[in-house]
Homo-oligomer: A and B are copies of this chain.
Amino acid sequence: MEKIITISRQFGSGGRTVGKMVAEKLEIPYYDKELIEKIAEESGYAKEYISEESEYAPGITGFTYGFLGRGSDGLSNADRIWFAQKKVILELAENGPCVIVGRCADYLLKDREDCLNVFIHASTEFRADRIVSQYGETSVHPEKRLKEKDKKRKLNYKYFTEQEWGKMSNYHLSIDSGKLSIEKAVDIIINAAGGNHE
């Protein structure tokens, strides 16, 4: 079976839930927020800073990542976090089967043959309903928030990987969770990864 499953997802598509359920069913570790702790340990930056800032594309948010933010080694904070993230993700993959959500893991692990890269997407209507009902987001203009979040993910991904986030050819499997349901998406991924036995 494919050992490592990476899940990239549009905001509000339920990709995180899908990843968690896949990991539970396959009885393998699930990394999402846990990654931030590990990156914090590795890089020395605060968890909150990593969580908040690393969603943004450097250069977009101004001074934080700009020229003034560079140390004597010529690296920006964003670069240092990126290198720590890379190290953490490569090490986790070495440790054995797991599910990793977000954080450009698909790109970072692209040289591994045993990696299944999945993208979860859904219609704007489905995702707007979901962030209001499930995440408790305000029901005022949820579409705008979806757009903003996905734009940030796209810019961040592009900056570090020079690839296009959400472009079909970068993923082995792309699933519309709105049309097919979260449960069906989980089934399909487990089937694609080779089931829950080696």
For this complex, into which size category does the number of interface residues on chain A fall?
20 to 34
Partner of A173 from the list B123, B166, B167, B174 (CB cut-off 8 Å) is: B174
Assembled-state Cα–Cα distance A169/B166 (Å): 9
For A33, the chain B residues whose CB sits under 8 A away are: none
For A184, the chain B residues whose CB sits under 8 A away are: 191-192
Smallest Cβ-Cβ distance to A189: which chain B residue = B188
For A123, the chain B residues whose CB sits under 8 A away are: 169
Can you sample 30 A-B contacts with CB below 8 Å? Answer: A116-B179, A119-B168, A121-B168, A121-B169, A123-B169, A166-B168, A167-B168, A168-B168, A168-B174, A169-B176, A171-B174, A171-B176, A172-B175, A172-B176, A172-B179, A172-B180, A173-B173, A173-B174, A173-B175, A173-B176, A173-B180, A173-B188, A174-B174, A180-B192, A184-B191, A187-B191, A188-B188, A188-B191, A188-B192, A191-B191
